[in-house]
Structure 1
């Protein structure tokens, strides 16, 4: 890795007061002033500058990425193309059930890359909006966020705060795989990059959006079966009812974590306000691209970003438990569950079995609807928990391998 010399800059006081509501949180390592700039003096075709930032509670979803680009001759120019980076540095359980920050070693981290963004303004924060971008919520650990750029010789892309204590959370790399904390190059380079993230809490039962509800049709499960040259398509109707006492704004609607489809259009377009006591329906068109394998999408299909927070269901379903080659038993747990449904599919997407029972446990023999014992092989099963009105609370899809013993994954 090339040496990173200091390029001093004038003291810049550019702390921008947040105009966000009380719900979003700004994750920052800097103090709002930037005294140094960092770059690869000999140049690097791919230069990475990232911060590791941690929310105070979980889960959260990324809303905005903010980067400070200084107005200086040796910095990036307006309209310079950059690739924005969003990575997940998973944490672990602390005492009890408290989630804690991820580790300081981020080597090998996988980024979601968003190319073709640009430096918009100099001497102030550039704000990049991710509120309508399908980025899964962070359940533990850290976000690792920043940018990648073609670092020309004698150009120093990253602005660094050195007037406050280094947090040891700013990293550089030339390959996007091996990262070094900037402090490791010497105390004169220690500091905090001007890279911030704005996040929103993801509320589950009892959260901040409990007076706002959503209903999705179709519900339960949807099987996508794309052909070699033809995408599989599905249209959903999403109805949001606002009983919160306030006007709410729907800012984004994205595919839920683990659902293997892409949203192609939303009508009417977002953002959209909903008055208290009113409802709004959206037509959401989705597809799974041609040439991909069969996939089963499960409710909740979408995560909905509102002004009150993120509308989703969380923590409602325990992992199903399967016993013995003679049969299958599923046990679920959670608030408000009145019935449980099991659907079994072969790998062509054909439904072999469907059973629903009241309560939170379901047992049945290892046979299809015709009573034929299931052959050894690989299957997909979907477990759906519903409330007393038949509304889907949560679904999960798992792989079932039937051989000498039944097992799930």
Structure 2
């Protein structure tokens, strides 16, 4: 039985082209970019090229790309660096975030709340879309602040109306951070079009290795408003000190260059796989619910389907699929006989009879139609065993 990997939203594999680009920087091209000799110069040039590749993919200037260890660090830097204790004196005293943000956004926001910053959680609708009217009510009272809103939800694939949210926030003098970890490399992302001040990138969600990411600081004013939260040398424009992780920066640049070649075409191919998957689920005959926007909708990731199966427990489905060598993620857990539905599905008021059996399927560049068909066969077997 061959392995089926349908957990690309958890992590992608490192693309062979990306791997081949980074490997020389562990050996013959091992120089420190901060040194003035030839090995250092070669390393510095490699970092500059990687930075330019990331910038080109996202339509920003290279100097606005700050390499980090991943999206978690980027989110923390954006939030704590603009509204935390080391931020400028005129820093925001209010922060708003959607109810479906990743813990890497919720946790630093909650840390700020303990320091006296007022935190607002903006509700979402039944498809997981940010409530813009609620956002405007928050922004219109009490002075400027910081809005944190994800572009693509990691569980459902729903895309938020970030451009519209940013326009509302900026009308009231707010700054805007966008966690785009699940979007970059999967759909076209243009920072200028979104109108945000900060945007985070996760390398391992777009075929670079784990341990690298970036924070986009999208303007000179955004740079003025952010300060480092760790201290040392002056690397990464003074915002992220420490000797540069050259192999991983090169890898993220290579992944960005790869995405820049065909991101729109690949997204269309992966959407077709999603439609095939949903059609196959219909044929199985088990009642199910797709969480988030409909699969054909443009405002969703093309390669994510969070599906709740009526009358089934997510843990039982997961166990059955693991036994059949299928990798997926669950949207609900069972402890001591109690079902715990994910915070995202709770925020969407998902019906528990479906949410308790929620499984996230996500696919990517290496997924083919035959994989979808084989997944459906193994899923049908699993559901059949559960009755």
Q: Aligning the two structures, in what range does the TM-score lie when normalised by the shorter sequence?
A: under 0.3
> Which protein is richer in helix relative to its size?
2
> Which protein is richer in strand relative to its size?
1
Structure number with bigger Rg: 1
TM-score by length of 2: 0.27
TM-score by length of 1: 0.26
